[in-house]
Amino acid sequence: MTNTNNVILNNTQVEQKIRRIAFQIYESNNDEKEIIIAGIADNGYFLAEKISATLNKISPLKVTLCKVSIDKKNPISPITTSISNNEYQNKALVLVDDVLNSGTTLIYGVKHFLEVPLKRFKTAVLVNRNHKKYPVKADFKGISLSTSIKEHVVVEFKSDETIAYLS
């Protein structure tokens, strides 16, 4: 159960962050006709769905949603995507995850997409932490947090609300 004392972002704040991230993505891609929003399963994909829905409301961009499956325990194993690489080749792509912690998941996701030529490549996260062991950054972020290494940020996506909290 969620400890309400540890809430970082409540549902309203999460929605505001998602809207701001969507506007930033649109602003940096306003010369594009199409954009690929690639979310890392599971929570990154839930966030990508919300960002895509907002982009569809605020922009004329054709938004293609892509689910990225990475084995987080063994990130060097093959990565799969719900769309073929032909569908994102030479297009603008944003790789989305819920929390940027050590950077491991994001860097392997980045590596996968670098095997295909892209027009533009950015990253987006809801919560950015400062415990990176890889040189990866979030281009679009909801909130940056300095937390202890023992603290874990959890983003909970439910049908009626999304919250982020420390556990």
CATH number reported for the structural domain that contains residue 64 in this entry: 3.40.50.2020
In which domain, by residue range, is 146 found?
4-26+33-166
Gap between the Cα atoms of 99 and 6, Å rounded: 16
Residue 27, SS3 per DSSP = helix
Question: What pLDDT digit, counting tens, does each position of 22-81 carry?
Answer: 999 999 999 999 999 999 999 999 999 999 999 999 999 999 999 999 998 898 899 999
Residue 90, SS3 per DSSP = coil
Question: What pLDDT digit, counting tens, does each position of 73-123 carry?
Answer: 898 899 999 999 999 999 999 999 999 988 999 999 999 999 999 999 999
Q: What is the pLDDT of residue 5?
A: 73
Answer for the pair 129, 148: CB distance below 8 angstroms, yes or no.
no
Give the number of domains in the chain: 1
Entry pTM: 0.94
